[in-house]
Amino acid sequence: MSAEHDSPQSEGSPPVAKNHTVDAVVAVVMFILGAVVAFESRRLGAGWTTDGPGAGYFPFYIGMIICISALGIFYQAVFGKSRDGDTFVDREQLGRVLQVLLPAAVYVLAVVFVGLYVASAVYIALFMVILGKYSPIKSVLVGVLVNAVFFLMFEVWFKVPLFKGSLDPLRFLGY
């Protein structure tokens, strides 16, 4: 693992992982996945049943292909001559990605309870205040406005009902 292949964006920020390391890890995950598919297919009947090929006949070979290509990727990542030593992600980049990903997960969780419209408005407003450093008034305005447009578009014009959540705070609107 030499440092000379570092990509230019990673000045200052220490790399969290290199491409070939992640490559190898993903290959291992793929191999396990392929093995699970193949085993499950064998259980379902990968052979020939009385009325033709069994339910696992096709997925079994798919599982095998995943396993074989995972081995190939693993070999290329660990022993290959042209393995990719560039930084997969450095600490600063990982931070930025998680800044989006984690709130997104919280947002989806919130959707379960308060529904798409309310959760989305709150999510957009908070995202703008915290990450975009906008004033709360402007942020809330954008959040509400965007969702009002969505509401009109989906519920009123195209008549596609969206998820209102188990608490259904927008019940009073009658949709």
Residue 82, SS3 per DSSP = coil
Tokens of 81: 């001559």
Q: Considering the rule CB under 8 A, would residue 70 count as an interface residue with another protein?
A: yes
DSSP letters, 105-161, are HHHHHHHHHHHHHHHHHHHHHHHHHHTT---HHHHHHHHHHHHHHHHIIIIIIS--P
Instruction: State CA 31 to chain mean position distance.
Output: 20
- Which residue, 2 or 166, is less far from another protein as judged by CB? 166
Distance between CA atoms of 46 and 165, rounded to whole angstroms?
A: 42
Position 56 contacts another protein (CB under 8 A): yes
Q: Which of 3, 7, 32, 72 binds another protein (CB under 8 A)?
A: 72
Shortest spacing between CB 153 and another protein, in angstroms: 8
Under the binding rule (CB under 8 A), the answer on residue 141 touching another protein is no
Instruction: Give contact residues for another protein (rule: CB under 8 A).
Output: 9, 19, 22-23, 26, 30, 33-34, 37, 40-41, 44, 48, 52-59, 62-63, 65-66, 68-70, 72-73, 76, 88-89, 92-93, 96-97, 99-101, 104-105, 107-108, 111-112, 116, 120, 123-124, 127-128, 131-134, 142, 146-147, 150, 153-154, 158-163
